[in-house]
Amino acid sequence: MSQIFIGRQPILGKREEIFGYELLFRTSPTKGAEVIDDTQATASVLINTLNEIGLNNLIGNKKGFINVNKEVLSEGFIELLPKSNIVLEILERVEIDDELIKLVGDLKKKGVSFALDDVICEGSIDRFLSILDMIDYVKIDILGSDRNKIHETVKNLKMHKVKLLAEKIETKEVFTFCLELGFEFFQGYFFAKPAVIEKKATSPSQFVLIELFNNLSKGKDVSTIERIFKKSPELDVKLLKFINSASFYLAQKISSISQAIITLGYRNLQKWTSLMLFAKTGVAMKSNPLFERAAIRGFFMELLSYRITKNKDLGDAAFITGILSLVDTLMGAPLKEIIKDMNLSEEIQDALLDKKGVLGELLQIVCALEENDFDIVKNIMERYNIISEDLYASETEAILNFERMDLQD
């Protein structure tokens, strides 16, 4: 279990209404960015936004500004984001060359919006001329800048179809000056310092991610990819949260990992896995007893379900139910709050929240066995004609399935 952090600073319009938020890399609730690797910082912001906190929870229907460099653009991560309310800020350190211009041009054709970050008034805008026609917003660093230089920079930029955003505004007087000069958007400590959003998070084994990436690259079948996911309960959770957080229209509820894989598609799944690797997440799964219990519950319920019904679809849903049955403890948040972002089938939701239906009763069996409450186990076994031999054979096989998982932590 670890803590994840995202800084969020509001961007305001002319009437001081919130237009959007810049999402910032943070390593703690009190420290600043401390960025060493721009690519890792952006990957961490994207992973924490999509997998853990949820984009809608962070920005709602406002714009979200995210810093990017050339490497992030070239990896294709951006295609995982909803284009309607995300603005990519090209960092001031990025060299504007033919490669960058092509990357930006290709993404512009797909509907992506761009901003130039930290444009300094003391410098010439000439270095931006080759890309300005593809830029939607220009963020101008106001702090400490000569007012004549600010006026000149604004005048030159207004010759292009860009919206101007004044950043690092620290006083009412500077805000008024920028407003009168024609800026449309504003950001700075005068309005609000970046608030740090904090949440507990789990991280899938680095080896499982590498194995997943390699098998996706080789085009292995869905069943092979699904087996890799079954090695990592928390990876299942992240997949389900991500597929509902990203810009994918889901015509039906997700009730199995294989369905999630097919819905997302190998191309997007590979990008998502790459992003997880870039963020350098990793945890030793077999050292965490909660992960072990979650995995065994998943296997146990899947095996028991199939013995009862011979229905593979129900078995898949039973696996998901077992895996998610401990997600509130794993993530330190209420179960109802966590699964609302997963777009699960009603059958799975009823099982998890109220222990209703076949899946709910199978979950009751698993939980009762862990607590040595054999009266509950016996009553449900009788309703489904489960014999003791099948029950304990399924439990044993579930434990063996977990032990066979080669996680190499």
Q: Is the torsion defined by CA of 126, 127, 129, 130 positive or negative?
A: positive
Task: Evaluate whether 119 touches 151 at the Cβ level (below 8 Å).
Answer: no
| Range(s) of the chain covered by CATH 3.20.20.450 | 2-199
Give the per-residue pLDDT at 409. 40
Rounded Cα gap, residues 278 and 72, in angstroms: 10
Rounded Cα gap, residues 216 and 261, in angstroms: 11
The Cβ-side half-sphere exposure at 241, using a 13 Å CA radius, reads 26
Give the per-residue pLDDT at 31. 47
- Yes or no: domain 206-404 corresponds to CATH 1.10.3210.10: yes
| Range(s) of the chain covered by CATH 1.10.3210.10 | 206-404
The Cβ-side half-sphere exposure at 358, using a 13 Å CA radius, reads 18
Q: Which residues does residue 24 pair with via DSSP β-bridges, in sequence order?
A: 7
Rounded Cα gap, residues 404 and 393, in angstroms: 16
DSSP letter at 53 equals I
Rounded Cα gap, residues 191 and 175, in angstroms: 10
Q: For the chain, 409 residues long, give each residue's pLDDT as a single digit of tens.
A: 556 678 889 999 998 889 999 998 776 554 444 555 677 788 888 877 776 677 877 888 899 999 998 988 987 778 888 888 899 999 888 999 999 999 999 999 999 999 999 887 766 678 889 999 999 999 999 987 888 989 999 999 999 999 999 999 999 999 999 999 999 999 998 888 777 766 666 566 667 887 887 788 788 999 999 989 888 887 888 888 778 665 555 667 777 889 889 988 888 888 788 677 666 544 445 556 677 788 889 989 999 999 988 888 898 889 889 988 988 887 677 888 878 766 788 999 999 999 999 999 999 999 999 888 888 999 999 999 999 888 988 988 888 877 766 544 4
Amino acid residing at 158: K
Specify the 3-state DSSP secondary structure of 313.
helix
Task: Evaluate whether 186 touches 175 at the Cβ level (below 8 Å).
Answer: yes
Rounded Cα gap, residues 26 and 7, in angstroms: 6
CATH number of 2-199: 3.20.20.450
DSSP letter at 193 equals P
